[in-house]
Amino acid sequence: MIDRKHIGAATEEVSIEVELSQLRLFCQATGETNPVFFDADAARAAGHETIPTPPTYPQTLLNLSPFKKNLVLDVIQADLARMLHGEQVFEHHHPIRVGDTIRMRQSVADIYDKKGGALEFIVLETLARNQDDIVCATLKSVAVIRN
């Protein structure tokens, strides 16, 4: 069983640049064909100041954020081989665009179990703010551990 003492654990706040080359690779990997997401001229022609990012892209920025320790693998020390992704929620408050510097901080919001401990759930919440201190997005992930 995962020690419930980890509820409330949090990362430091780290910064990550929203880089066009990474976004292009994400678009290639997801079959994205709308040039607004990878061509600055197309983005401007569609009325965007600069290139916007797709709605699940905050998770990519989170995955690539240079935290000293990964909350799930290093702090909680959950077994990756027994872990599945249970739920994912994004709330978007302000656009995240290429050229932004996003600051990420993740915390363990809850840990609970079902089926007499056969399944454990780790609820992670992340706040993503930009260089102007505007909250751009909140992320909630639920990891499921099969015991």
| Interaction site with another protein (CB under 8 A) | 22, 25-32, 34, 36-37, 46, 48, 52, 54-56, 59-61, 63-64, 80-82, 84-92, 95, 140
Secondary structure (3-state) at 23: helix
Type of residue found at 19: E
The nearer residue to another protein, 48 or 105, going by C-beta atoms, is 48
Structure tokens at 29: 């990997």
Whole-number minimum distance, CB 133 to another protein, in Å? 20
Whole-number minimum distance, CB 126 to another protein, in Å? 14
Query: Rounded distance, CA 104 to CA 128, Å?
Result: 5
The nearer residue to another protein, 5 or 134, going by C-beta atoms, is 134
Instruction: Give the pairing of strands 83-92 and 14-17.
Output: unpaired
Query: Rounded distance, CA 124 to CA 129, Å?
Result: 17
The nearer residue to another protein, 5 or 146, going by C-beta atoms, is 146
Whole-number minimum distance, CB 5 to another protein, in Å? 25
CB 111 within 8 A of CB 64: no
The nearer residue to another protein, 5 or 64, going by C-beta atoms, is 64
